[in-house]
Amino acid sequence: MHKSSQLSLVLLGTLGSEILLSACSDEGSATRIPVYSSQVDCMQDWKDSARCSRNPSGSGYVGPRYYWDRQTQSPVIVESDGAQTSVRLSGFSSESAPHAASFVDAGGVARGGFGSTAAGEGGAGNAGGGESGGG
């Protein structure tokens, strides 16, 4: 019984942190992952090869998980460890990345905990499903 009580507390603590992080972010829209037809298209948007990777769920490439910051009018990249980096890139808007073929809804901002499983939460590993139109 003692072990299950500890597990419940850990889960509650993790859920509380997730809700707090989402509530404290300026998440004008949900985080998303842009999907590109080619590495060239991805590089045109993100200007850094480290931000473009092969789409593990299909063809093409994916850019970083990000959300649109309404205050700074710029994309904010959300790293797998929850770190957030605001970037100034031309052509972006709250609705689009200039060269993206489509987008994957990546859920809320700054997921955390549980080691390697946290990196996959809403990350590029989910890029095969839930695509919506982009432009």
Domain boundaries of the chain, sorted by first residue: 2-133
Determine if the pTM surpasses 0.75: no
| CA neighbours closer than 13 Å in the CB half-sphere of residue 112 | 18
Q: pLDDT tens digits for 30-77?
A: 899 999 999 999 999 999 999 999 999 888 999 999 999 999 999 999
List, in order, residues 6 or more apart from 22 with CB less than 8 Å away. 108, 109, 110
